[in-house]
Amino acid sequence: MSAFESKASSSEDLSNLKDAEIVQVMHSGCLTALSILYRRYGGAVYRLALRILRSPDEAEDLTQEVFLTFWQTASYDPSRGTVLVFLLTIARSLALNRLKRSQAHYRRLLQWQIMRSPNPHSAPFENATLEELSKHVADAMKALPDNQRKVLEMAYYDGLSQSEITRRLNIPLGTVKTRSRLGLLKLRQLLKDWME
């Protein structure tokens, strides 16, 4: 048992310790120490996660992941900054990784929705050359309303995330999502002969 653990036999005693001391107790396996740090800094971590991810559920999930990561890692060095700065650095890194995964998933989904065929053995799809298929997709894209086409082209051809499209077009994220969804639905309708 460390000197800190013997000093801090209860939650009340632990709350009187400095952050660096609480971290030492936490790394010795004391969950009470982790819960004290969560009470101190969970709100700040959640707010940063929410600001980056823009989803309360995602932010809540990420906040728990940050504290779990902190619990499992022994890399915190008090001489390099405060516990709060360390936690916020972890939160930012994990949130940006989530965004990148989400954006990559969105691009794959967009490509899949445009090109997918529920029945891969359908004659039109099998007999189509890549050039024919590309022409049909291009024609279908031209038939979309300008605002929907622009969002899909920026996502699919330019590889931009929804957040990047939001900044480029200076429109709300919800608008980008709506235009994208409506555009994909319209494309599916226009390309249904090639997808059946």
Residue type, 171: I
pLDDT of res. 59? 92
Give pTM, 2 decimals.
0.51
pLDDT level of residue 55 (50, 70, 90 thresholds): confident
Q: Is the pLDDT of residue 193 over 60?
A: yes
Checking if the pLDDT of 95 tops 80, the result is: yes
pLDDT band per the 50, 70, 90 thresholds, residue 137: confident
| pLDDT on residue 99 | 82
At residue 63 the predicted structure's pLDDT band, cuts being 50, 70 and 90, is very high
Q: Residue 184 has what pLDDT?
A: 84
pLDDT beyond 80 at 108: no
pLDDT of residue 105 exceeding 80, the answer is no
